[in-house]
Structure 1
Amino acid sequence: MPDKDAGTPRVFLIRHGETEWTKSGQYTGRSDIPLTENGEKQVISSARLVVGPGKIINPSKITQLFISPRKRALRTYELLFDEAARHKFEGKVEITEDIREWDYGLYEGILPSEAKAGRKERGLDKGRPWNIWIDGCEEGESPKDIAGRLDRVIAKIREIQGPYMHGEKPVDVVIVAHGQILRAFARRWLGFEIGVKLPMMLEPGAVGVLSYEHHNVDEPAFLLGVNMAESEE
């Protein structure tokens, strides 16, 4: 059976590798924390499996990259693509605050349980438990703030990919960022509010894939399953 969506552009979501705060579970937004040694190994392993000619992420098909300015994301980009690929990406890389991690405000550097305890002490959440996807963060970003900046990135991507829905030109896009913001990005990609209940997981150094149904830029979709060796030169 032929693949009815073959050639449709893709968006690859790359979460940076492990950091010390990833391991501990502390909220890591604006803090500029490096990858651990294991975090670097995670990214290298992912690159070996999915990046290269004939692999899922084929550098020759990438037309634009959006990268968070945090060092953990920038280092992930360096490890994911070799020097030759990065040289070819000159002029295609946008390092942008629009795809940085959620600003956790008062919760930066603490555990979720500590954030909840602090909110309780301040008399918050009497009606229902705190939900970051609905309530946002004290002195940090709200879901509306997040949606605003992610929607700007999505609009750029749709403008890039919209004219080439049938593979007329390779226009894959790569985003290298963070766990929370990439899950928020997936919600907005599908047209959902940030607060919609949509449980998702994205491990450190992992790759997620978004695309479109029916070669239609107005039908954004998840790619739940990806052929591991489907991209040709």
Structure 2
Amino acid sequence: MSRDADNLTPRVFFFRHGETEWAKLGRQTGVTDVPLTEHGIEQVTPTATHLVGTGKLVDPERVVRVFVSPRERAQQTLQCLFPEEDLPIYPGFLRITDGIAEWDYGDYEGLTAAETKALRKEWGLDAEQEWSVWRDGCEGGESMQQVTRRLDRLISEIQDIQWAGMEAERPADIVLLSHGLILRAFVKRWLSFPVDMQLSIMLAPGAMGILTYKNNNIDEPAIHVGLTFP
């Protein structure tokens, strides 16, 4: 692939929001609006300083769409990363969408994983194997199948946008601002893996990851595992 083609291969930059009080305690946080802690804001700031801005890795001039979860903690992270004056203003550029909201924990909202497993045992569940949110989903919340459907819809929309960018030979980067569990599920679906596939992915609060395409081909979604910097 030529250097010019490589420079025009679209990317999806995904950011996990910074720390919250519930995240510090290991409490499952789906629909509850919990703001960032001061430390959570500090976690995002270096990324904004070093990686986001004109001529940097995440260049607003190359970004054609930003998808952000409706939760306060994700929108605070957006404000830390992209000051309002740095974002292009045109209809549809910034999308607040449930498509990238955190997994709905339902009856397990606010519980730790250990508390959830204990509760399910009390209900007579999981006699043969331990609960896994990836496989079993959440009572009163979302199943693996529901999460898969909404992520696949979003991925299809993103790939339509980026295919158009490839055809027109213009930058078409996408930014996602979201949550730890759903972003790891997003990575699996981007690679066409089932959500419950055993694939260990680490994504710390305030961290960023990158998805792209092999050979500048919309039919070859890939994950960026190494970068070179100018």
Task: Name the CA distance, whole Å, in 1 between partners of 2:141 and 2:37.
Answer: 26
- My pick for the range that moved more, 47-56 or 28-37, is 47-56
What pairs with 1:8-47 in structure 2 (closer than 5 Å)? 8-47=9-48
- Aligned-residue offset at 1:2: 6.3
- Aligned-residue offset at 1:93: 0.5
Q: Which amino acid aligns with 2:57?
A: I
Q: Which amino acid aligns with 1:175?
A: L
Q: Does 1:84 align with 2:91?
A: no
Task: Name the CA distance, whole Å, in 2 between partners of 1:191 and 1:185.
Answer: 10
- The alignment-based identity, stated in percent, is 48
Task: Name the CA distance, whole Å, in 2 between partners of 1:178 and 1:200.
Answer: 13
Q: Does 1:107 align with 2:108?
A: yes
Q: Which runs of 5+ in 1 are unaligned?
A: none
Task: Name the CA distance, whole Å, in 2 between partners of 1:89 and 1:180.
Answer: 30
Q: Does 1:163 align with 2:186?
A: no
Q: Which amino acid aligns with 1:34?
A: P
- Aligned-residue offset at 1:167: 7.7
Give the 3-state SS of the residue equivalent to 2:64 in structure 1. strand
Give the 3-state SS of the residue equivalent to 2:209 in structure 1. strand
Give the 3-state SS of the residue equivalent to 2:7 in structure 1. coil
Task: Name the CA distance, whole Å, in 1 between partners of 2:45 and 2:187.
Answer: 24
Residue of structure 2 in register with 1:223 after alignment: 224
Residue of structure 2 in register with 1:141 after alignment: 142
Residue of structure 1 in register with 2:178 after alignment: 177
Aligned residues of 1:27 and 1:110 also touching (Cα < 8 A): yes
Q: Which amino acid aligns with 1:126?
A: A
Deviations 1:130-182 (A, max 9, x none): 11111101111001010111111111111000133378111100000000000
Residue of structure 2 in register with 1:119 after alignment: 120
Normalising by structure 1, report the TM-score.
Answer: 0.93
Deviations 1:68-106 (A, max 9, x none): 0000001100110123213x2442011001110000011
- Aligned-residue offset at 1:45: 1.4
Q: Mark the CA change 1:107 to 1:95 in structure 2 (over 3 Å): closer, same or farther.
A: same
Task: Name the CA distance, whole Å, in 2 between partners of 1:166 and 1:221.
Answer: 19
Give the 3-state SS of the residue equivalent to 1:94 in structure 2. strand
Task: Name the CA distance, whole Å, in 2 between partners of 1:199 and 1:6.
Answer: 29
- Aligned-residue offset at 1:22: 1.1
Q: Which runs of 5+ in 2 are unaligned?
A: none
Q: Mark the CA change 1:73 to 1:59 in structure 2 (over 3 Å): closer, same or farther.
A: same
Give the 3-state SS of the residue equivalent to 1:165 in structure 2. helix
Give the 3-state SS of the residue equivalent to 1:148 in structure 2. helix
Task: Name the CA distance, whole Å, in 2 between partners of 1:110 and 1:40.
Answer: 24
RMSD across aligned C-alpha pairs, in angstroms? 1.6
Task: Name the CA distance, whole Å, in 1 between partners of 2:90 and 2:22.
Answer: 32
Normalising by structure 2, report the TM-score.
Answer: 0.95
Deviations 1:1-22 (A, max 9, x none): 9657332100000101110011
Q: Which amino acid aligns with 2:26?
A: G
Task: Name the CA distance, whole Å, in 1 between partners of 2:90 and 2:2.
Answer: 35
Give the 3-state SS of the residue equivalent to 2:56 in structure 1. coil
